[in-house]
Chain A
Amino acid sequence: MRIVILGSGTVGTWIADLLCRNNHSVTVVESNVDTVRTINAELDIRAIHGSASESAILFQAGIIGCDLCLAVTGDDEVNIVAASMAKAMGARRCVARVYGRVFRDLSTFDYQRHFRIDRFLSLEHLSAVEFVRAVRSPGSAVLENFARGELEVQEVICDDPAPATGKPLKEVKLPKGVRVGTIQRQGKTWIAGAGDSIEVGDHITLIGTREEIDSVKSKFQVKAAPVRSVVIAGGGETGLALARMLEGQRYHVTLMEENMERCEFLARLLEFTTVVHADATRRAILEEERVGNMDVFVACTGDDENNIMACVEAREIGAKECMAIVQRPDYANVVEKLGINLAVSPRNVVARQVLGLLNSGPIISKKNLPGGGIAIVEFEVMPGVVATEHVIANLKLPPHCLIAAIMSSDYVRVASADDRLTPGDTVVVLVEESTLDSVVKLFEE
């Protein structure tokens, strides 16, 4: 596939190299002449010198008809403008890397929809999502990426008989905004259909807004899950995103940050998180903050060595689970030996994202759930396709296929049977790998 990458910082170069090694044809646009020279000399990539937001340069880079355009310069605004221009000039899919949180916030303005950008990538946010997934429950699907953070997926364990257990799902009265996504029973996971019933001992996922999920949880779970305590060391963007996603639910979050000004900034944003002004690499401080009694310790400072050391210390004090951001691939083999339960590498996370975007046809991205042949597929709804002809209930969907969420220009919500897709929407579908082709047909022109 033909791919244009705008900006060649560490992330840009690394993605370019990765894609190049996957036999794609890659063009890089970079404003620094030296970098351009180096890339041209060292990699099998065409590098062009110029500004990413300049139309002539984009044209020169072959933006017209390219399969994917990644805007990954260091500047959010440039990325957004460039990605938007690329889309307008004819790139099939375009992705912008954004650092700022405001661009992801849909409450007042939908930047992504407005600039017609297919995906906002944020390393920090993606890493945080990885941690969230691990903290919540390792097996569960995290759809935050797909529904742009507006919808949540929560795993519920039905340990005791509850009002909704033992009867088919169609008899369980769920409000419009919540759907049961998957059911996991005895190691097998499948997509819930109307005829399925939930048995005691199942793990199910609920899709919907946080408030709505909380309001229906009692139907599946009689006892509230115990509150778990999480300590996050390092209040960078990753720490902030992680705390935002965890706080207020059944997690008691403590965030440690060294810089006082940053502490104040974080404390203003995070209402239910205890922000502590402390250096997480010092053992005495970890002890004083009672890290030993906590369930999860996540180290996400900007420094690999500090992260690893903090995790080791926390483990020694008695923290039950330790996780860390480890950027350098060299350390990947060591971390497990040191007792760190999860090491997240932002690069790998981004790589997975970018590779998931390299699809043809109406599929924007595709991702497989761990343990089972279930794929989470994001479709673009194009004008005149079969899927727009009927309301969802009347679409000829294969069994075990669930349209989970609809993202349109002014809302992101859980799909219900009488919704009708309109061109321009993006939908998230949970589908079994074997029947994916028949779903793709619905969205193909």
Chain B
Amino acid sequence: MNYRLVCRLLSIVCLIIGVTMVFSLPWAWPAIGHRTDENFQQFETHGFLGLVYSILLSIVCWAVLWRIGRKSKGELYRREAMAIVGLSWLIATILGAMPFLLSGSCNKLAVRLFASMEHAPQVYSDEVSPLSTDQYALIQSLVSAGARGLPKEKLAEQYDAKVKLLTKGEAPERPFDQVFDEMRELPHWRGALVEPDEDEDAPKDRRGNYRVRAVPMSIADAIFESQSGFSTTGATVIADLEDPVCIPHCVLFWRSSTHFLGGLGIIVLFVVILGQGSAGKALMRNEMPGPSKEGSHSRMQHTAWMFAGLYCGLNLVLTALLWLLGMNFFDAVCHAFGTLATGGFSTYNTSLGHFVQADPVSGAWIEYVVIVFMALAGTNFTLLYFMMIGQAFRLIGDIEWRYYMGIIIGVTIAVMTFGMVYDDFIIDPKTSFLNEFLYALRYGLFQVVSIITTTGYGTHDFDQWNSFGRGVLFLLMFVGGCAGSTGGGLKVIRHILFHKILYLQLEKSYHPTVVRPLRLGGKPVDDPELQTNILIYFSLILVLFVFGWLAVVTLEPDSTWGASEEHIEHKLIDSATAVAATLNNVGPGLGIIGATQNYANFTSWTKLLFTALMMIGRLEIFAVLVLFMPRFWRSR
């Protein structure tokens, strides 16, 4: 292993990360940042400083690695290329986590309540004794208000209402402030609850409120979030995205920028800038998703340019479209990043559903536009390039693309049919059949495209769908986009080839003398290694999924699910979907990580496990696994 050379190339990766962070800085100014909150119009000092420190750290890393590697000699071989790809993603993840940590962003509240009163709540992830009715009512009011908290009058009002609801009509015995003071005396609760004017440095909008303290992101949280961005997963640990104190706009923008970088691929960017000749080819081969790596150009740098150019172009087009459809510029850019990288980070808690709630007409159009662009992002970029230069027949004639479209259409029809039979899409029972059909089409198509391309945006809580719909979406996670796209998952082409290999092997079992090559679209597949590679990849994914699932089930305490029987039943399924969603870079799963939920409540160890799965999924296993082979690092 040529360590010096590896260091020199990795130093450039640090620089790329640092430079990209610079583009997040301007959003700290309120004039650019498009603040939605009237109370919060000042400069985001914490976020800005966090980013600046992170940039400095990146530069330090660059300088150190550059110094080690400046005298590097020799060529870049396959071994070094693989090491660089794997390590660059590690470095990017760690550096990318810094803005979350250094800006002091918060991802959740200190208190976690479960759906019913009997469940013991968690305070700072510790289980405490169950609450009495009025205590529960108070805490529930505060938790639902988020980190902002509630002023005295509003809290009183909500407290009364909650108590009445819980006791079925009885007025509260004690006023809320008495309960509040009583709870602050309890051992665990003292630090978690904040009185008005207790914290003088708090921002204006919450200084005078009763509130629950927000917890700053832990290292595991920050690394999870960063990896989720780079791997274009879109799974988040941040419970409240709409609170600029918890997560400043500039950090939010960095979060979406990690999608941009991850979708393009750090190494692709690297090759675009530096070329590197045959070394660039070796690097790209390890990073680009999918089994077929042939490009449209004979030079790898041209291929990388084509890929990057198309990717940036599509980002620009989508940003413009979303902006025209009524999003503000900040949201438009962030959602474009999230869509074309097939990531799924949004800037709202309700994901894209926010825009429909805000304006049903333009919101619906936003959904349709995003559906189209998600589908494009899941298409092979080489084919998109051919379409751009007027050879649309190559796109339509491509077997993989046909299957991809076929799966989308077929599954959408199935999901719509079942959804309509089980009335999943109806909010109002008086909806006419036509409207129900349109809802089903919009929500069904959106979710199917969102999951198959491994984007993971949500417009409808598919966790509430019938079992068939949920099961199908879970299976779709393993399909993924086309090879050479930004989508994750197994890729459609691998499924096609896998079925063909299966068929050939079946025939071989009763007719061993038959000689039949693997064919794709009538043409024989040339690569003799391909059959084995496909089978190995399938089995590795299966092994990773099964053992990942076992690990999550073991590592994660039952209390995450509320430790009651009705919830714990979901543990197995929820864990399975969480592993599938991270391994395939999808994002949301079912149950506690469903479309309206997030990963905030998992323990740190599980989060780190998910982080590893995301990276393995994005780099298609091998580039990550070799890092753990001692023989890989030995020079002889």
Chain A interfacial positions (CB closer than 8 Å to B):
260, 263-264, 266-268, 271, 274-278, 285, 289
Q: Give the chain A neighbours of B513 by CB distance below 8 A.
A: 276-278, 285, 289
A260-B515, A266-B515 given; name 9 further pairs at CB < 8 Å.
Answer: A263-B515, A267-B515, A267-B524, A274-B514, A275-B515, A275-B516, A276-B513, A276-B514, A277-B515
Report if B519 contacts A (CB, 8 A).
Answer: yes
- The minimal Cβ–Cβ distance linking A5 to chain B, given in whole angstroms, is 39
Q: Contact mask B377-392 → A, CB, 8 Å, 1/0?
A: 0000000000000000
- Interface of B: prevailing SS: loop
Which B-chain residue is minimally distant from A273 (CB atoms)? B516
Which residues does chain B contribute within 8 Å of A285, judged by CB atoms? 513
Give me the 5 closest cross-chain CB pairs, A-B, nearest first.
A263-B515, A268-B524, A275-B515, A267-B515, A276-B513
Chain B residues with Cβ below 8 Å from A267 are 515-517, 524
Q: In angstroms, how far is the closest chain A Cβ from the Cβ of B518?
A: 10
Interface flag for B522 (CB, 8 Å): yes
28 inter-chain pairs at a CB distance below 8 angstroms, sorted by A residue, are A260-B515, A263-B515, A264-B515, A264-B517, A266-B515, A267-B515, A267-B516, A267-B517, A267-B524, A268-B517, A268-B524, A271-B519, A271-B522, A274-B514, A274-B516, A275-B514, A275-B515, A275-B516, A276-B511, A276-B513, A276-B514, A276-B515, A277-B513, A277-B514, A277-B515, A278-B513, A285-B513, A289-B513
Interface positions of B (Cβ within 8 A of A): 511, 513-517, 519, 522, 524
- Chain B residues contacting A289 (CB-CB under 8 Å) are 513
The listed residue with most A CB atoms (<10 A of its CB), out of B515, B516, B519, B522, is: B515
Closest Cβ of chain A to B578, distance in Å, is 44
Contacts of B517 in A (CB 8 A): 264, 267-268
- Chain A residues contacting B514 (CB-CB under 8 Å) are 274-277
In angstroms, how far is the closest chain A Cβ from the Cβ of B454? 34
Residues in A whose Cβ lies below 8 Å from that of B522: 271
Chain A residues within 8 Å of B511, by CB: 276
Residues of B within 8 A of A264 (CB): 515, 517
Chain B residues lying within 8 Å of A271, measured Cβ to Cβ, are: 519, 522
In the complex, A263 Cα to B524 Cα: how many Å? 14
Complex: A268 Cα to B515 Cα, angstroms: 9
Q: Which residues of A contact B516 (CB under 8 A)?
A: 267, 274-275
How many angstroms between the C-alpha atoms of A254 and B452 in the bound complex?
40
CB-nearest residue of chain A to B514: A276
| Closest CB in chain B relative to A270 CB, distance in Å | 10
Task: Report the minimum CB–CB distance from A275 to chain B (whole Å).
Answer: 4
Q: Complex: how many Å from CA A296 to CA B127?
A: 80
> Which residues of B have CB within 8 Å of A274?
514, 516
The distance from the CB of B479 to the nearest CB of chain A, in whole angstroms, is 27
**CB-CB < 8 A to A266: which residues of B?**
515
CB distance from B527 to the nearest CB of A (A): 13
In the bound complex, CA of A275 to CA of B514 (Å): 6
Q: Which residue of A lies closest to B525 (CB)?
A: A268
Question: Considering residues B514, B519, B522, which has the most beta carbons from chain A within 10 angstroms of its beta carbon?
Answer: B514
Cα of A264 to Cα of B519 in the assembled complex, Å: 12
CB distance from B529 to the nearest CB of A (A): 15
Which residues of chain B are near A276, meaning CB under 8 Å? 511, 513-515
Closest CB in chain B relative to A264 CB, distance in Å: 6
> Which B residues are in CB contact (< 8 Å) with A278?
513
What separation, in Å, do the CA atoms of A277 and B513 have in the docked complex? 5
Give chain B nearest CB distance to A388 CB in angstroms. 37
Q: How far is the CA of A180 from the CA of B594 in the complex (A)?
A: 66
The residue in chain B whose Cβ has the minimal distance to the Cβ of A269 is: B524
What is the CB-to-nearest-CB distance from B504 to chain A, in angstroms, rounded to a whole number? 11
A291–B218 Cα distance when bound, in Å, is: 72
Task: Name the CB-closest residue of A to B524.
Answer: A268
- Cα distance A271–B522 when bound, in Å? 7
